Chain A
C-alpha cells in the first residue's frame, strides 16, 4: 500500500486487522524484516517549507534524502547530523527517505560535536496505530510546549506511529574542512589521542580510529580558522606522533563519507554490530572479544564491529559490564535490539500499548511486545 496523503494513511491503519510493515525507502532493514503488509510512505513526498535565514526545513516523510540535501546545498546549508547511507553496509537498493532517517535516528561522525538526528528534529506529524493523526513540536528552534514526543518518535523505527512530516533544524555548510591523520597508534592510544582533541577548544567535528590504518580528526569552518586549528591540534597531538593534514575538499569529504557509511565492512561476510559506549571503555570491550574487527567513530563512543554470527550474548555481556548498548545492524535473529532493564522495558511496552494497542506497526522491531 502506498498512501498519497495523511488521511489515506490513517484510513489504512484504522482498517488494518493484521500487522503492517512500515517502509520509507527500504534501505535500512535494521533488526531484520518484519512480517506484515507493506505500507510505503514514499508517495508522501516533497519539501513543504525551507527558510534558509531561519535554518529550518519542513518535508513530508517520504521525501528522498537526496532531494533534501540538494535543496540545502543550493543555499550553502546541510543536515549537520550527517546521516549515514546504509545501502553499502546492508546491501540494499532504493532511495533513502528523510522519514526513514528520522525513524532510525541516523547520525554520522558529526554526532560527536553537533548532535544526533534527534537533536535537529524540531517537529513531527505522524499517524499512530489507532489511526490517530498527531502533531508534536513545530518548526522553531526552541520549543518546550508540552511533552517532547518529537524525541520519542526519533529512533522508534515506526513502532509508535508512521511519520508523515518532519521539521528539521539545518546549519550552514562550512567554507573549508581538513582531516588530520595520525599513524601507528594502538586502539587505546588512539582513543586517548581522540579524547584529547575532543577536549580541546578546537571544535573537532569528526574523531575516528581505523585500527591498523589511521587515527583521524576532522575540523570545519572558515578557511583561516581551519588552518589555525589544524596547527594547534597538530601541536597538541605531537606526543602521539606526526600529524598529516589533508585540506583538499573532495578528499576530506570522501574520507568521512567512508567512515560514516562504514565502508571498511562493505561486501564482507559476518554480522555487523553498532555499540554505543563510553569512549575510554571502547578499546577494552573490543579487546575482550575474539575474532571481531572494529572501527571506532565518535571519539570511541561508537564502535562498529564485524563479527561472526551468533555472538550476541558475548558482545552484550562485554557492553553491559561497562555500560552502553549494542544493536545488530546486519545479521539474522530476533535479538537485534539491546534488551532493556525490566522497569524501562515496561515503560516502553506501556507506550507501545498506548500508541499501537493492536500491535500493528512493525511488531518485530525494537523490544518485542
Chain B
C-alpha cells in the first residue's frame, strides 16, 4: 500500500506545532511522545501501521475548531479518528499527520422523545446512544457489529450500516443534523431537529465522506420506539442458489424482515465448532428476523415458512422464545470470532444485486481454489451486502499479498455484476486503489471537486478514498 512521503518540512516543525496546540488544548490532550502516539498507529485494519506525529483529544467543538485552525495555518494534515474500529484503514495516520481523536466528546446534549431525536457529541459509542434512550423504550437503529466500541463520528464518516438496516436504513437515513468543523476551523451547522435541511443536501454529502470534508463534533440522530417484540426463523438449504432464490421470494412477498442473514457451509462449520449453536449440517443457512406483536410475528413467520417450504429446506426452525432466538443468533454473532480462531482473515464488504448472489458465490468458490485460500461467506442477504472472509496466515510470507489479490478479484466481480466495492465499511486505504474499477476518471473527478471545495489544501484524512495518482495534481495545487 503506497502512502505519500512524509513532508520533512512539517516533521521539522513538530515542536512548534505541539507548543501551539497546547495553547488551545489542555496539556494532557496533546500527545507527542512517540511511546504514546504509537497507540494511534493503526485502526482495525492492523496490516498497516504508521504512528502519527502527534495526537490530540479535544473535548468540545471549540477546541476542535481552534486545533484545526492551527493545523491548517501550519499546513499539517489531520486524521480524524472515532474509536479506531475501521476495517478499511479509514483512520490510518501518515507520519506527518496529527490524529484528532473524538473520544473525550461523548456527552448526550439533548434527548427529545416527543420529537424523536437525540443530540450527542460524536465520540459517544453507537451502543451507548441506544443506552441513553432505552429506558424510555427507544433505540438508535444503525447497528454495526462493532457497536459496543465504534463511535458515532466514525459511523457518520463511513455511513455505517448493520444487520438491521434492511428495515431501518443506514446512518445517512437516521442522521438529521451535524455540527461540523471545516479544516480552516469554521464551524457549520447542517440540518437539525427537523427533516430535510435547506439548500443542497450537504448532510447527505458529508455522511460517508470518510472524514475528508470536516470533523463532525455533534450529531442529531433519529430515535425510534422499540418494536413490541422480534423473533427469527432459521432455514437451512442444500444449495446457495436455492437460499438466494428464497431471499428474493421473501422480499417479493411483501414481508419486510428487519434482517435476512446468510451463512455458507464453511462459515456454518466454523461457527458450529466454535459456538455450538446447533446449526444444521447444510450448504446454506438463512436467519430471517421479523418484528411486531406476538400475533404479528407469528403471521409473518408463517408466511416466510410457506415461502421457504417451496424451496425444499433441509431445516426450518422457528424461534418460540427469547432463549431460542438467542440460540439462533449465537452462531451468526460469533461467526467472526470463530474465524479468528481458525486463522487470520480479511473481511470484505462488496455489495451485489440480490439476483447475482448464486453466480457470485459460485465464482468466489472457484477463485478460492485458484488462489488456494479458504473463504467463508456470512452476510446481510436482504440488501446484497456480502462479507466474504478470506482466511490466510499472517506469519507466512506472501500470504497477506495473496489474500489481498484474491480480495481485489472478488470486489471487481461485485462491480462487474452491478454492485459496488463497499457496502458499509468504507474505502479508506484498503479499497482506494480499486476505485478506478467502479468509477471512470470523470466520476472520480466530480467527487474530488467536492473535496476541493471543503478542504482546498487536501489536509483532512490524507491518502484515503481516491487513488493517489488521481488526486496528485489537486493535492499539489
A residues at B contact (CB < 8 Å): 51-56, 75-76, 105, 107, 111-112, 115-116, 118-119, 128, 132-136, 138-152, 154-156, 160, 171-175, 192, 195, 198-201, 222, 224-225, 228, 276-280, 298, 301-302, 323-325, 327, 337-338, 340-341, 343-345, 347-348, 350-351, 353-355, 366-367
Contact = CB atoms under 8 A, between A and B. Distances in A.
B226 A201 contact: yes
A136 B194 contact: no
3 residue pairs, one from A and one from B, having the closest CB atoms: A151-B204, A53-B248, A325-B198
Nearest to B137: A201
A352 B306 CA distance: 53
B357 to A, nearest CB: 10
A20 to B, nearest CB: 19
Interface in B212-242: 225-228
Interface string B416-451: 001111111111000100010011101111110111
Contact of B201 (A76, A118, A323): A118
Interface in B390-435: 418-427, 431, 435
A170 to B, nearest CB: 11
B321 interface: no
Contacts of B440: 135
Contacts of B293: 225, 228
Interface in B263-295: 292-293, 295
Interface size range of chain B in the complex: 35 or more
A145 B443 contact: no
B446 A324 contact: no
B205 A151 contact: yes
B439 A337 contact: no
Given A53-B249, A147-B451, A301-B195, 13 more contacts: A53-B251, A54-B355, A140-B423, A141-B166, A142-B161, A142-B383, A144-B427, A147-B208, A149-B205, A149-B446, A327-B198, A340-B199, A348-B202
A151 B352 CA distance: 20
Contacts of A119: 169, 172-173
B196 interface: yes
B116 to A, nearest CB: 6
A195 B115 contact: yes
Given A54-B384, A140-B423, A118 B192 contact: no
Contact of A132 (B255, B256, B423, B446): B446
A298 B194 CA distance: 10
Interface string B178-216: 000010001111101111111111111101110000000
B199 A338 contact: yes
Contacts of A345: 199
B473 interface: no
A51 B439 CA distance: 23
A350 B200 CA distance: 12
B446 A139 contact: no
B85 interface: no
A302 B194 CA distance: 9
Contacts of B135: none
Nearest to B222: A115
Contacts of A350: 453
Nearest to A56: B353
29 contacts: A116-B195, A119-B169, A119-B172, A119-B173, A128-B446, A140-B351, A140-B353, A142-B384, A142-B424, A144-B158, A144-B427, A145-B421, A145-B427, A145-B439, A147-B209, A148-B159, A149-B447, A152-B202, A172-B251, A174-B254, A199-B225, A276-B194, A276-B195, A278-B194, A280-B114, A327-B198, A341-B189, A344-B190, A354-B449
A237 to B, nearest CB: 15
A337 B208 contact: no
A34 B294 CA distance: 55
A139 B204 contact: no
Contacts of A337: 198-199
Nearest to B168: A115
Contacts of B199: 337-338, 340, 344-345, 348, 366-367
A199 B418 contact: no
Interface string B98-130: 000000000000001111100000000000000
A54 B199 CA distance: 32
A53 B423 contact: no
B439 A135 contact: yes
B205 A148 contact: yes
B251 A198 contact: no
A351 B206 CA distance: 13
Contacts of A228: 293, 295-296
B256 A171 contact: yes
A4 to B, nearest CB: 21
A132 B200 contact: no
Given A139-B418, A142-B384, A54 B353 contact: yes
Contacts of B366: none
A341 B426 CA distance: 30
A341 B188 contact: yes
B170 interface: yes
Contacts of A107: 196
Contacts of B190: 344
B165 interface: yes
Contacts of B115: 195, 278-280
A344 B201 CA distance: 11
A151 B159 CA distance: 13
Contacts of B423: 140-144
B172 A151 contact: yes
B19 interface: no
Given A54-B384, A134-B443, A145 B435 contact: yes
Contacts of A222: 254, 296, 299-300
Given A52-B252, A132-B442, A351 B196 contact: no
Contact of B196 (A116, A199, A225): A116
A297 to B, nearest CB: 10
Contacts of A135: 439-440, 443
A105 B201 CA distance: 10
B454 interface: yes
A324 B254 contact: no
B452 interface: yes
B353 A155 contact: no
Nearest to B414: A140
Given A142-B161, A351-B450, A354-B453, A152 B200 contact: yes
Contacts of B295: 224-225, 228
B53 interface: no
Contacts of B209: 147-148
A75 B208 CA distance: 33
Contacts of A340: 198-199
Contacts of A225: 292-293, 295-296, 299
Contacts of B61: none
Given A225-B292, A278-B193, A355 B419 contact: no
A278 B192 CA distance: 8
Contact of A145 (B112, B165, B256, B422): B422
B151 interface: no
